[in-house]
Structure 1
Amino acid sequence: MKFLRSGLSAVLAGSGVMWMTTAASASTDAAVVPPGVTAGVVVFDRETGEFTEQLNPDLQFRSASVVKLLIVLDFLSDRGPRYDIPAADRARLDVMLRSSDDDAASYYWEERGGGAIVDRMVARLGLTHTERPPATHPGFWGYVAITAADTVRIYRYLLEQAPAPVREYVLGNLGQATRCGTDGFDQYFGIAAVFDLAFRVKQGWSGFTNSGGCASATPRAAGIDLTSEALHTTGTVGTDDRTIVAVYTLHPDGTGYGKAYSDLTRLTRSLTVPGGIRAEGTWVTTSGSGVRVRSEASTSSQVLGVLPAGVDVLVSCQRKGELVEGSPRSSEWWAYLPKYGGYVTNVYVGSGSDKLPGVPDCQ
């Protein structure tokens, strides 16, 4: 079985840039794209029927794991009217949607005809710029070409046209996305990092060789030429899935996962997302790699997670705890990360003094 999360050498050939003709047809001023990043962004407010953000909406990117939305919709398309899912399939699909499992995606890609899945879903959902993987890599589902605009169409189909059992199953799983993918990458970037409470996500990442922050990541397959690393965040935000957000990004070859994670999250933070409740706190950057988030302010407490190297994290407060000796500084202060529900020593958060300026003490 082929390893399918690796990337293409660049944006898929023949993509071009076309603008959506519905509602706003030009990029807005709000989206702030970090230097060196290529982005495609669409934000659609279902309550007003308007687009609040559009930037390169029809620019094609390799889909990475976002294509798993098409895989599950194709699987469910011929199971009506009851849409019963056998236990073995439910187990595979649950982990594919919640934890972005590649083995599950590969299983259905082969079982259901590979590129034919894309052809069927393009016709059913009215997608305009989604295409099979290139002829040179027909088995690589992560090479499906997709756009931010077509991604919004996928979510609109789920929310507005799909049979209720399909909508409830797929969106229910996206609302239970795990922090760690089964390949060891932390997938709480973008939408999941910026917003609190109501959100559902299907993320995508491709071409990264360094640790994603959870566990030992699966090595990429040898012999595949990879250049631009890809990181995507897609999903819905707000009560009753008010706003659909699709952000696709490509990063210069060799970009570390932590930097791409932070750049995508910064871009997402700049967007106008009606109904979104933004997580409160102060954004700071970590230093070092393998920094552990712990249940209490001590090195003997339970490890809740491991941060990607050099990543932006949200800090809500700080408290005194165990003194940690480090270089170039030591600190007895620990920052609380609400998105992790735990603490990280200030030795590896921010820079300068041992206590973070402007961050309140935990009560």
Structure 2
Amino acid sequence: MCTTPAVGAAPSARQAAIGLPAGVSAGIAVFDRQTGTFTEQRGARARFRSASVVKLLIALDYLWDRGPSYPIPDADRARLDVMLRSSDDGAASAFWDRNGGGAIVERMVTRLKLADTAPPPADRPGYWGYTALSAADTVRVYRYLLDEAPAPVRDYIMGNLRASTRCGTDGYDQSFGIAAVFDRPWAVKQGWSGFDSNGCTTDTPATGKQAPAARTAPADGVDLRRPALHTTGTVGAADRTIVAVFTLHAEGTPYGKAYSDLGKVVRRLNVPGGTPTPGGWFGTWGSGVRVRAQATTDSAVLTTLPAGVEVLAGCQKRGQTVTVPPYTNDWWAYLPKYGGYITNIYVSSPGDKLPGVPDC
């Protein structure tokens, strides 16, 4: 069993340097596997509702006693794949119901010696997303997976997390946090709860989803009311650094703002081995802004942006002239994280060109 260095709660100058956007609460743990030390800790033992991060425990529990070759029936493999890659809620619910619900969490607490993790409240037994989880325990989960799990389990789960899709099957853009900030290699398992969907374009078929977060008061120190957005996973060659960032946002916060605020937190972290994707960060405005394959309105739509989200512009070039009264502009920004272009009209910046962004 892996042992984790002590997780301290005392404030430090580094914690203050991380900073948090107004209205955001966070639990943060960043662990450098090469040195065996934490490079960031802030509220690392604070308990959050896990949202879809609990799917790591659901998958590990399913695979725990399946023998040295870990044979997986085709139907279960399909469910596991879409649950881990596209955060499918219907798949998670199927395993949750079949394998004992909260007993899954209790088994994994014992197996991995998790300190802060607990099943959903007794009056919400089917709400697997209400499982209590901390950033520190999430680091423990990844350390077990990377350093002690049988190789077939490690390779299968991490392979799926490396193949994370841009959109979840419930229509949410899940490429925030780690995936938005760093160049590959990375692997992610994200979580979100309590937001309205922004209609992310996806080719992944949905198989169902869990009921949305109830607007209920905190239970046992776990806030079930405020919108939650979490990014967890590994960054760098050979999965050098484990990152776990859990956040809560003010009630009514739009998804795009929470997405952007989480990105600001992740960009401030000390993540050894991580390479931030180059470019300039800019806010956007408008709803359903399309990312296109080329700098024209008749080229293929790759996806749509969450309303008001910050984007990373890698370069810009002239393309088709677009008019959205009272604006007209023929400059388009290339978004490397989306692999396509948006008209600069929808980028919140003065002038037709974006300052500090090179031409493509």
Fold match by TM threshold 0.5: yes
2:151 aligned with 1:153, yes or no? no
Structure 1: gaps (5+ residues): 1-19
TM-superposed CA distance for 1:224, in Å, is 3.2
- In structure 1, the residue corresponding to 2:246 is in which secondary structure? strand
Determine which of 282, 285, 299 is the counterpart of 1:284.
Answer: 282
CA distance in 1, matches of 2:294, 2:262: 29
8 Å CA contact 2:291–2:341 kept in 1: the answer is yes
Structure 2: gaps (5+ residues): 217-224
- In structure 1, the residue corresponding to 2:291 is in which secondary structure? strand
Alignment of 1:126-165 (within 5 A): 126-165=113-152
Tell me the equivalent position of 1:111.
98
Determine which of 342, 354, 357 is the counterpart of 1:356.
Answer: 354
Stretches (4+) displaced over 4 A: 217-223
Determine which of 331, 334, 340 is the counterpart of 2:332.
Answer: 334
8 Å CA contact 1:285–1:310 kept in 2: the answer is yes
The one-letter code matched in structure 2 to 1:225 is: R
TM-superposed CA distance for 1:67, in Å, is 0.2
Alignment of 1:239-258 (within 5 A): 239-258=237-256
TM-superposed CA distance for 1:33, in Å, is 1.1
The one-letter code matched in structure 2 to 1:108 is: F
The one-letter code matched in structure 2 to 1:278 is: P
Q: CA RMSD in A?
A: 1.9
TM-superposed CA distance for 1:327, in Å, is 3.1
8 Å CA contact 2:183–2:275 kept in 1: the answer is yes
- In structure 1, the residue corresponding to 2:264 is in which secondary structure? helix
Tell me the equivalent position of 1:265.
263
TM-superposed CA distance for 1:222, in Å, is 7.9
Determine which of 7, 21, 24 is the counterpart of 1:37.
Answer: 24
CA distance in 2, matches of 1:24, 1:350: 40
Structure 2-normalised TM-score? Answer: 0.92
The one-letter code matched in structure 1 to 2:159 is: G
CA distance in 2, matches of 1:296, 1:33: 36
Tell me the equivalent position of 1:22.
6
CA shift digits 1:169-218 (9 cap, x unpaired): 00010000000000010000000000001100000000002425436x98
2:53 aligned with 1:66, yes or no? yes
Cα gap change, 1:162/1:280 in structure 2, threshold over 3 Å: closer, same or farther? Answer: same
Tell me the equivalent position of 1:177.
164
8 Å CA contact 1:38–1:249 kept in 2: the answer is yes
CA shift digits 1:108-143 (9 cap, x unpaired): 000000000001000011100100000110111000
Tell me the equivalent position of 1:85.
72
Q: How many residues align?
A: 343
TM-superposed CA distance for 1:360, in Å, is 1.1
TM-superposed CA distance for 1:32, in Å, is 2.1
TM-superposed CA distance for 1:296, in Å, is 0.4
Structure 1-normalised TM-score? Answer: 0.91
Alignment of 1:200-239 (within 5 A): 200-211=187-198, 213-214=200-201, 221=211, 224-225=214-215, 227-239=225-237
2:285 aligned with 1:293, yes or no? no
